[in-house]
Amino acid sequence: MFKNLKDFLDTLDKVGELKHIHDQVSPHLEISKLTDRESKSPGGGKALFFENVKGSSFPVATNIFGSSRRICMALGVDHLDQLGERIKQYIDLRPPKSLMGALQMLPMAFGFAKFFPRSFKASTPPCQEVVYKDDDVDLSKLPVLHCWPKDAGPFITLPLVFTKSLGTKKRNVGMYRMQVFDRNSTGMHWHIHKDGSHYFNEYRKAGIKMPVAVAIGADPAVIYSATAPMPRGIDEMLLAGFIRKKPVTMAKCLTVDLEVPAEAEFVLEGYVKPDELRREGPFGDHTGYYSPADDYPVFHVTAVTHRKNPVYNATLVGRPPMEDCYMAKATERIFLPLLQTVMPEICDYWFPWEGVFHNIVVVSIDKEYPGHAQKVISGLWGQGQMSFCKAIMVVDKNISPQNPERIIKELLSRLDITSDITITRGVLDVLDHSSPFANYGNKIGIDLTARFKGEPPRSNRRSLSKPPSEASLSDIIKNSVPGSVECRHLFNKLQEGKEISNRILTVSVEKTIDRGGKDFASILLGLDELDMFNIFILFDKEIDLSDNSLMLWKLFNNVDPGRDMIFKNDRVVIDACKKGVMDGHEREWPDELSFDPIN
């Protein structure tokens, strides 16, 4: 495995996975534009190495994990399921009896003694070859990226934030964006459900400052581990050691009582006051939208240390596909065996990239009794990070969740709108903007499994007549639906010559203060000429209805299932447009990310 970031970059270079940018570039938007373009090229493009950064003496590396090949190289595997298989081999030998038992087994599964972090023994660790303290600290010397035009400022986007519980003294490593406020302070964007925030609350209640250390740039296993949804109290550096098959060497900080990876490129040391908040954001987030400004704790930097010739490592997040998609895919595969210890009926699962990790998951199960799918849906909403998932779709074990076309065929041929949909309420990810309430809202479960004896049969829909041509459909929509722009019969090629249970018509519309989603729904559900369609999806007028990925991204992000799904008998209209007062949504709707000039 790799000793440090440079070791990984050198390897990428040797195998043709690193593109060198020799021309001078600015950390204000220019690096981000180039990274965004590269990330969205076929297969994720190449890792980028910017050698000449305006205003800084340090080079910048981006998109280092942003392809299937590079994420596998980073984690030392041929395919991402290999790490999960290593965990499963141990768990199968000593099956846990509960979720707590599974979590308690993690250190043993990782090889607790063999991979536990080690202390740096020599005099000066690489991460402290150059030291700046107190008044010499100046964060403006770092090439921190201003990622998107409406961002509140430059943000450190790939920080490894080290904290320690005041009570248990256990270490946590998380990745939380950090807005640079000035030469020696940043924001600390702890979401309420993150372990860093939980530890901060311990210090806040005690009324004392919290020591924090931030590493920027490390070996890829260490960077990935900071993003992993590890149970509280289990050291992420242990996971890194398990991935590396070698312990992570840690060095003591100079001004705070914490340890950081000795091979890190940069380290920021400092503290967070218990009673200080400052407005942070907006920030162009992984949802593809700007997350709004809010008040967060302030990180005061007491020291900056770095290697003699460090590389600043950053990532850009935005509408998928981006680099973080490949890191999330690794998490999906690595943590499947742990989920299966609690729910052994789960065969596989899939988080579509368009769902930005928390909006939808497709799960295949070995169904054994009536109501089994509903039991799995409820159970997943009670499991750790899965509790934030807005939509869960369940299919039978013979259906691969990794096969999108097969999933769509199941949806078109099997879904019974009257009996297969369950809507409930619960906790949501803090970045979910579709709900009228922050962190809380409606969720949807969809059961596409075969019916068992004891379950109500799916209803037999009336015979669906053949739909008009696309041109005729367009005329019907434009003549009968005021505010409509265009339409498209979605997935019609998949239905040719097959038994049809569901037909989907997408319609782009222009809302006004007096015309919201429910108004369009009332018209569409009342048109006899469109009786052969039982699912309608509304999109904003500027959406390209030929772009399936774009439409799925809008559908997963913009829909609150309880408010935006309008049912009438066995038909439904789904409003995937922006929301406003015309829809009963008074919460601020975020802007979509774009490098186009700001009006």
- Quick count: other Cβ atoms within 10 Å of Cβ 113? 8
CA angle 417, 422, 423 (to 5 degrees): 115
Q: Which amino acid is at 112?
A: F
For the chain, helix, strand, coil in percent to 5 are 30, 25, 45
d(CA 64, CA 311): 12
φ, ψ of residue 497 to 5 degrees: the values are 75, 15
Task: Supply 7's token pair.
Answer: 């070791």
Question: Before 321, cis peptide (omega within 30)?
Answer: yes
Among candidate residues 276, 275, 271, the one with its CA nearest the CA of residue 211:
271
- As a whole number of Å, the end-to-end CA separation of the chain is 48
Give me the torsion for CA of 523, 524, 525, 529, rounded to 10°.
110
Q: Which of 36, 235, 285, 519 is catalytic?
A: 285
Question: Which H helix or E strand runs over 312?
Answer: strand 312-313
Edge to edge, the sheet with strand 440-447 lists 346-350, 360-365, 391-396, 440-447, 421-427
| Secondary structure letter of residue 63 according to DSSP | -
The 3 state secondary structure assigned to 393-419 is EEEECCCCCCCHHHHHHHHHHHCCCCC
Q: What type of residue sits at position 22?
A: H
Q: Which residues pair with 424 in a beta bridge?
A: 443
81 is catalytic: no
C-alpha 589: how far from its chain's center?
A: 19
List, as one string, the DSSP characters of 442-507: EEEEEE-SPPPTTSPPPP-PPPPPPPPPHHHHHHHHHHHSTTEEEEEEETGGGGTTS--S--EEEE
- At 340, which amino acid appears? Q
CA 234 to chain centre: 22
Least Cα distance to 114 among 90, 139, 80 occurs for 90
How distant, in Å, are the alpha carbons of 136, 165, 198, 269, 480 from that of 208? Answer: 25, 13, 15, 17, 65
Q: Please say whether the beta carbons of 310 and 58 come within 8 A.
A: yes
CA of 350: how far to CAs of 155, 198, 332, 367, 403, in Å? 30, 29, 7, 18, 9
Provide long-range contacts, Cβ within 8 A and 24+ apart, for 195-199.
195/163, 195/232, 196/161, 196/163, 196/172, 198/232, 199/163, 199/164, 199/165, 199/166, 199/172
Distance separating alpha carbons of residues 207 and 536, to the nearest angstrom: 54
Residues with Cβ within 8 Å of residue 263, at least 6 apart in sequence: 3, 4, 5, 125, 126, 127, 218, 219, 249
List 49's β-bridge partners, or say none: 20, 61
Task: Catalogue the active-site residues.
Answer: 285
